[in-house]
Structure formats: C-alpha cells, structure tokens
Amino acid sequence: MPLPMYYFLAVTAIYILLSWSIYLPYRVMHLHFMSVANMTISGYLGAYAALSWGWPFMLVLVVGIVVGAFVGWITSFAIGDAPTFAVVIVGFTYIYISKTVVENTDALGGTLGLFNIPSIHSDPSTSKLLLLIIVYLFVILMGFLIHRFENSRLGRAASAIFVDHQLAKSFGINVKRTGMFLQTWSSAMGGASGVLYAYLMRNLFPDFFTFHLIGIAMTMLFVGGYATMWGGLLAAPLLWGGPLLFPPEIASWRIVIYGTILVVMLVLKPEGLITRPLVYRIESYFRRRRDRRIPS
Amino acid sequence: MEQSNTLLDVKKLEVSYGHVDALKGVDVTVNQGEIVVLIGANGAGKTTLLDTILGINTPRSGSIQYNGTDITGRSADINVREGLTIVPEGRGVFTSMTVTDNLLLGAHHNMHESSDKIERVYQWFPILKERSDQMAGTLSGGERQMLAIGRALMSAPRIILVDEPSIGLAPIIVNNIIEILVNLNKEGYTILLSEQNAYKALKIAHRGYVLETGQVVLSGTAEELLEDPAVKDAYLGA
C-alpha cells in the first residue's frame, strides 16, 4: 500500500474515533475533551510499556482502554451531571496537565517524544496492513455499539437530557448516571485512540495532543453533524483528506480553513451536514422498501 | 381507616429558590382514586409543588409521604419507578423524536412489556397510533397533550401529577383532555391536577386546594370550593 494512502486511512480512523468520543458525551450536552487527554495518557503509557517492558500490542490496547475508561469514570463522579462549561474546563485542564507531565518526564521522551514504537509484525508491510485491519475493525465495532446505543432506552434518555435535563429527570431518567456512562465510554475510546495512534505512527510527540486536536475533532463533529454518529464518519475523511489534495502552500493553512468551515457551518447549518431528521428519512425510506419486498 | 386510603400526604412543605420562598408550609393530601385539583394564579407555587413531590426540587423543610413511605427529597428516578409520574406544563414532548420514542421515554425505568404498554396507550389515544412514526413536532397541541398523558401512562403510575393541561389549547380540545382525565380516574388512576381553569377543574375533581403565593389559603370538596364566594370572585369570574 502506498504510504500516503496508509497515513490517510490510519489518521482518518483515528479522527473518526476521536470525533465519536466527543460526540457521545455531547449527546447529553457535555463537551468532554478528556478523550484527548486520555489519548495522551494511554498512548504514552502504552508506548512506554511496549518499549520498556515489551508488552504485546493486544495487552497494550486493552490496558489503554481500561486506563482511559478508569480516568474518565473517576472524573465523571464530579462532572457526570455538571454544566457544559465545567466539563469543558475540566477537559482543558486534563489536556494541559497530561501534556505538561509528558513534556517534563524524561522516560517519556520529554518534548522530543517517543520513537521506534514496535511493529505488531516483523514484516513492516504486513504490520501496517494488520494494524489498519485492526483499527478499522475497532471503528466498525464502536460504530455498531454507538448505533445500538442510539436506538436503546439510554439513547432516548440522552436525547431527552440534551433537550431539557430537568424534563428528562421527570421521566425517571438518572441524568448523572447517563452522563457518567457516556463520559466513561468516551474516555475509553480516547484511550484506545491513543494506543492505536502510537502504533500506527510508531512515534509520539506531545505537541500532537494539544488544543488544535480538539479544534479538528470539533470541526469534524459540528460540520458532519453533532446529532448523529454519521456526522463524524462523513466529516473525518473529508476534512482530513481534503487538505491533503491542496498544494503545500495552502495545506499549511489547514487550521484556518477548518476554523472558517466551522464558523460558516455554525452560521448556515448549525446541526451540521447530517441531521437527525435526514437520518430518520433515510431509515424510513429503507424500511418502506423492505416492507414492500416482504409479501403480506 | 382514613390513613390506609391516603396515597399522598404533603405536610408543611417549604421550598425556596435562593432567597425566594416558593412554598411556605403547604399541606396537601390525596386519597387513592381521587382527582384533587390545585387552583392558583401564576406564581402561586403549583408547579413547584408538583415538581417537589416528584423529586425534581429538594424541599427546605416539611415532609412528603407516598403510599405510607417518606419520600421527602428522594430523587425523581426512584419516585417514578415507585409509581409517581408527571404530565408537565407545556406538554414537554420532544419534537425531534417520533411519537413512539416519546412514549418509550415514559417507560424508561421499566421497558418490560413496553409494547403491551404502548398498545394500551394506543387504545386510549388511537390518533397516536396513526402518528406513531411521525416526529412529535408535527402534532397539534391537543395531540401533544395526549402524547404527554400517554407517556405518563407508560410508566404504569399509581398517581399522575398533571400540570396545567389546558394551557394553550382551544376550548373544545380542553374539554377532550378533561374528559380523558375523568376516564383515567374511572380506570383507577389517582390524579393531582394543577389548573388555572378553575371551573372546569373543579367540575371533575373530588377535592381542591387554593394556593396563593406559596400557601394553601382554602381547601375543601370541589362542591364547597365552587360555591365559595372568594373562589367565585377570584377564579370563576362571578
């Protein structure tokens, strides 16, 4: 596989996961940026474990997910039903702390980062292909789980909390527990994204895990559509892949382009490209077609 | 004997929002099988009382006994599970969700036999069955009120707190909604109804309370309140 294609597919998958990890808590109106901090924590922890202790990839991945989930779960006791701005501030704080710790820890490579993270196979080409398959299997698994969640009682509860959390409480919905669940899930996905990114790139730099990563993920979420899981899936390849086609002098203005697109979308189509009614219409169309095929 | 019939017993309930006292020692009793109406102007404390009974607000003092158990300050999710439910003011339907999803929200705490529950709601409100796949935002005001009542029924309640069901509805629709509440009561549901349309509410109620600035200023049977000169003067336009 050509190297540019590999990086396009690899980074697209990471951005899909990252945008979903922000999408999930946003279902209850939480802009939960801890997934970026958990990417840093689990990514570096995993890379260090692989380099220093020789842990195999699967163990690193599982530990990365568990650590991410644990950090998210513990924090969610405090912010599971907090106002949006409080959740945002906690997320920023975690990002700042985790980046500072990494930059000041020699064992983690400091500001230079960690290099030569092991491949998962002795043959580099096979390793890349295997890794891509694993990453996309993980994306499919997460997509399936999120889709199941959307159509579950928890998904309906999250929709109700998003609109009016006081009203949601009056139906017996436990707002805090729902928020905790989604924040924990989001953090676990952040942890997984960190480990997968470390293995895909085989190096980690603290500068990657900063606020610009939040900007990119948020642009993907809000341009694609924050009300359904399909928004991130559509926007990640478009927004990440699109600038790759630009000439180098324009590509370096990527963040400015993202920002402009985000502002334009928020003004013209605040719900993003893929809205909930649109998904509902498409689902209804296929349901009707299926029903017509089944003889009565 | 009387005690065993009491489903809800609110005593000396005080609720405040910051420095503003919304309820100042309210006493309300609802017996099994009754329709009890709360009458009062805007800001009298009717919605605050219903929300506090359900567990959305935390009282400063006083007590709420439900079915013989002290539920003061207990969270709404437990209270709904135990058979309390609310039809909120302004209907509170989720416009970007389908009618079916709105109904299923009502059974959030217990999805067991939810399809049977939905069928029962559709028997009550056949129009909702026709609209089941439509977004709730496409329903008329009366249909939304039916949806809100249907959603409350989905939680298999023992007592339904109904907050201002007639607000924003045409008189003929209000009559339909009132009739629905009477029929629900005949089916065995206990109803605590907050309503500004005092005449219509008292006509169907067993008993009533008049709230003014967070206090019960008058209570009695519906007939007594309908004949009370102060009620007539203030709420019945006589």
Q: How far is B232 from chain A (nearest CA, A)?
A: 33
Interface predicted TM-score (ipTM): 0.84
Residues whose CB falls within 8 Å of the CB of residue A137, separated by 6 or more in sequence, listed in order:
none
Give the pLDDT confidence score for residue B70 in this predicted structure: 96
pLDDT of residue B172: 87
Alpha-carbon distance of A38 to A159, in angstroms, equals 25
Domain total of chain B: 1
Q: Which residue has the higher pLDDT, A245 or B155?
A: B155
Which one-letter DSSP state was computed for residue A294? Answer: S
**pLDDT, mean of residues A195-200:** 95
Q: CA B134 to CA B100: how far, in whole Å? A: 8
For residue A244, the model assigns a pLDDT of 75
Q: Are A167 and B76 a contacting pair at CB < 8 A?
A: no
Mutate to test the interface with A, among B71, B93, B94 (most CBs of A within 10 A): B94
**Is residue B67 in some structural domain?**
yes
Tell me if B104 is assigned to some domain: no
Instruction: Read off the amino acid at residue A87.
Output: V
SS3 call for B216: strand
Beta carbons of A157 and B106 less than 8 Å apart: no
Whether residue B119 is contained in a domain is answered as no
Interface touch A280/B135, C-beta < 8 Å: yes
Which is it for strands B20-31 and B6-17: parallel, antiparallel or unpaired?
A: antiparallel
Angle at A268 between CA A267 and CA A272, to 5 degrees: 95
Find the mean pLDDT for residues A241-250: 78
Whether A124 has a pLDDT exceeding 90, the answer reads no
Q: Which residue has the higher pLDDT, A278 or A135?
A: A135
- With CA atoms as reference, report the closest residue to A243 among A2, A12, A10: A12
Interface check for A174 against chain B (CB to CB < 8 A): the answer is yes
Cβ of A170 and B151 within 8 Å? Answer: no
CB < 8 Å to B97, chain A: 156, 159
pLDDT value at position B3? 44
Residue A9 tokens read as 């597919």
pLDDT-derived band at A3, boundaries 50, 70, 90: confident
- Single pTM value for the model: 0.88
Distance from CA of B86 to the nearest CA of A (A): 7
CB-CB contact of A131 with A200 (8 Å): yes
Does B64 map to a domain?
yes
Cβ-contact B115, B90 below 8 angstroms: no
Contact B133 A284 (CB under 8 A): yes
Domain residues for the domain of B89 are 2-93+157-235
The band of B2, judged by pLDDT with boundaries at 50, 70 and 90, is very low
Question: Would you state the pLDDT for residue B153?
Answer: 93
User: Any idea what the Cα angle at residue B175 is, between residues B173 and B179, rounded to 5°?
Assistant: 115
DSSP 3-state assignment of B69?
strand
- Residues A247/A249/A252/A258 CA torsion (nearest 10 deg): -60
**Order of strands, sheet of B20-31, starting from the edge strand that comes earlier in the sequence:** B20-31, B6-17, B61-66, B69-70
Which residues does chain A have within 8 Å of residue B101's beta carbon, measured at their own beta carbons? 156, 159
In a domain, B122, yes or no: no
Residue B137: list chain A partners with CB under 8 A.
Answer: none
- Evaluate whether residue B151 is within a structural domain: no
Chain-chain contact of B108 with A157 (C-beta, under 8 angstroms): yes
User: B105 lies in a domain?
Assistant: no
Q: Do A277 and B80 touch (CB under 8 A)?
A: no
Which residue of A lies nearest to B80 if distances are taken between CA atoms? Answer: A172
- Cα(A145)–Cα(A139) distance, integer angstroms: 10
When pLDDT is cut at 50, 70 and 90, the band that residue B96 belongs to is confident
CATH number at residue B75: 3.40.50.300
Cβ-Cβ contacts under 8 Å, B96 against chain A:
159, 163, 276-277
One-letter amino acid identity for A94? Y
String of DSSP letters for chain B: -HHHHEEEEEEEEEEEETTEEEEEEEEEEEETT-EEEEE--TTSSHHHHHHHHHTSSPPSEEEEEETTEE-TT--HHHHHHTTEEEE-TT----TTSBHHHHHHHHTTT--TTHHHHHHHHHHH-HHHHHTTTSBGGGS-HHHHHHHHHHHHHTT--SEEEEE-TTTT--HHHHHHHHHHHHHHHHTT-EEEEEES-HHHHHHH-SEEEEEETTEEEEEEEHHHHHH-HHHHHHHS--
* pLDDT of the residue at B184: 94
